Amino acid sequence: MTTPYSPPESDPLAQGQFDSKLEKRYLLDNIFQVLTWSAVVIAIIVLAVLLIDTFVDGLGRLDWDFLNSLPSRKPERAGLHVALIGTLWVMTIVALVSFPLGVGAGIYLEEFAQDNWFTRIIEININNLAGVPSIIYGLLGLAVFVQVLEPITGGRSVLSGALTLVLLILPVIIVATRESLRAVPDSIRLAGFALGSTRWQVVREQVLPMAMPGVLTGTILALSRAIGETAPLIAAGALAFVASTPTFPVVEWVQNPVKALQILWTEGIQDPYTVLPIQIYNWVARPQAEFRTNAAAGIIVLLVVLLAMNSVAIILRNKLQKTR
């Protein structure tokens, strides 16, 4: 098949005029090579400037009090406590819901599903979802979880926000699961079948454990994307100013588990919340310079959390490569 590529005027080779002046062509070659390298260098410099700028602005503000203070209208007293706890709540629910759903769907598509129209629709659909802007998921969350399902989710609650993020990262986990399952050699499955196992037994006992490092890496990367997401949560009703954290009933748990579950539901996951990136956004959007220092300190905390998660993913990936 021919491409509609029309060669640039400046390119003598493609124009059919062979320029025999080698020095000139090599000079152009060197200039081009320098250009490509400078593109990479520019990207790295911007990254470095961004990190240095943030650390210079925020490192002085970062201390134990800052992590432990409640939000406040006075910048020097405001802290990250509520946002940190909120992020922990939301991400715990996201992880607990998205991991089984994503891995289950991935297993179905890779191990069980026949190649028919049903499977193809799901596949095309998953690819399409990856191209939907994240704020659209926020609108979906606003309409479905916050409005329609309000009796269950409690409106603008931890649960609504978490479910919105679950829908956002589900395609990523499904794709990662499928890729890891595909990498497991077929001989393992055939050996399992030969011993009389059913398909699910083979998947559960042999294939999934082998694919697990890849699945976990993909899941952690997806979760680290969810941690930094701001727009869908704002659209789905995370509040910028929340003074208290959701309740986790520790004491009741020992005394009366049923009551504890009730509290966990109504005062925990149905509670309003804020998360790290929203707290950062809220601080950046204010005109006072002190709040912006707070934002820089918040960004450092967010980046450290992300770095920790990515390191775990990289360690898992290396472990995976060693066992292969």
Partner 1 sequence: MNPESPPPAGGTALPVQLWKPNRTLSYRVELAVQIIFAAFALISVATTIGIVATLVFETWEFFKEVPVWKFLTQTKWTPLFGSAQFGIMVLISATLRTSAISMLVAIPLGMLAAICLSEYATPKVRSILKPILEILAGIPTVVFGYFALLFVTPFLQNFLPMLQGFNSLSAGLVLGIAITPLVASLSEDAIYAVPQSLRDGSYALGATKRETIISVVLPAALSGIVSSLILAVSRAIGETMIVTLAAGQTANFGLNPFVPVMTMTAFIVEVSKGDVEVASIGFKTIFAVGMTLFLITLSLNIFSFWFVRRFREKYE
Site membership for partner 1, residue 82 (CB under 8 A): no
Confirm if 226 and 165 have CB atoms less than 8 A apart: yes
Site membership for partner 1, residue 193 (CB under 8 A): no
Q: By C-beta, is 57 or 213 nearer to partner 1?
A: 57
Smallest separation, CB 193 to partner 1 (Å): 13
Alpha-carbon span 269 to 287, nearest angstrom: 33
Residue type present at position 35: L
Q: By C-beta, is 11 or 65 nearer to partner 1?
A: 11
Instruction: Rule CB under 8 A: choose which of 157, 180, 230, 245 binds partner 1.
Output: 230
48-77 mask for partner 1 (x: CB under 8 A)? -xx--xx--x--------------------
Instruction: Rule CB under 8 A: choose which of 142, 172, 220, 242 binds partner 1.
Output: 142
Q: By C-beta, is 175 or 269 nearer to partner 1?
A: 175
Alpha-carbon span 119 to 16, nearest angstrom: 49
Residue type present at position 204: R
Looking at residues 237 to 266 of the shown chain, list those that interact with partner 1 (rule: CB under 8 A): 237, 240
Candidates 99, 103, 107, 79; CA nearest to 162 is 99
96 φ/ψ angles, rounded to the nearest 5 degrees: -65, -35
Half-sphere exposure of 301 (CA within 13 A, CB side): 26
All residues at 6 or more sequence positions from 55 whose CB lies less than 8 Å from its CB, including other chains: 296, 300
51 φ/ψ angles, rounded to the nearest 5 degrees: -65, -45
Instruction: Rule CB under 8 A: choose which of 87, 134, 153, 157 binds partner 1.
Output: 134
Looking at residues 91 to 130 of the shown chain, list those that interact with partner 1 (rule: CB under 8 A): 100-102, 104-105, 107-109, 112-113, 121-122, 125-126, 128-129
Site membership for partner 1, residue 167 (CB under 8 A): yes
10-39 mask for partner 1 (x: CB under 8 A)? -x-xx---x------xx-xx--xx-xxxxx
Rg (CA), the chain: 25
Candidates 246, 296, 272, 299; CA nearest to 75 is 296
Q: Which one of 3-11, 179-187, 210-218, 249-257 is the stretch in contact with partner 1 (CB under 8 A)?
A: 3-11
Q: What would the two tokens of residue 197 be?
A: 């196992």
Q: By C-beta, is 167 or 216 nearer to partner 1?
A: 167
Q: Which one of 142-150, 179-187, 208-216, 265-273 is the stretch in contact with partner 1 (CB under 8 A)?
A: 142-150
Smallest separation, CB 70 to partner 1 (Å): 20
Q: What would the two tokens of residue 36 be?
A: 């490509």
How many residues touch partner 1 under the rule CB under 8 A: the total is: 96
| DSSP-assigned states of every residue in 16-44 | T-----HHHHHHHHHHHHHHHHHHHHHHH
Q: Which one of 5-13, 184-192, 208-216, 249-257 is the stretch in contact with partner 1 (CB under 8 A)?
A: 5-13
Q: What would the two tokens of residue 51 be?
A: 């990190």
Site membership for partner 1, residue 199 (CB under 8 A): yes
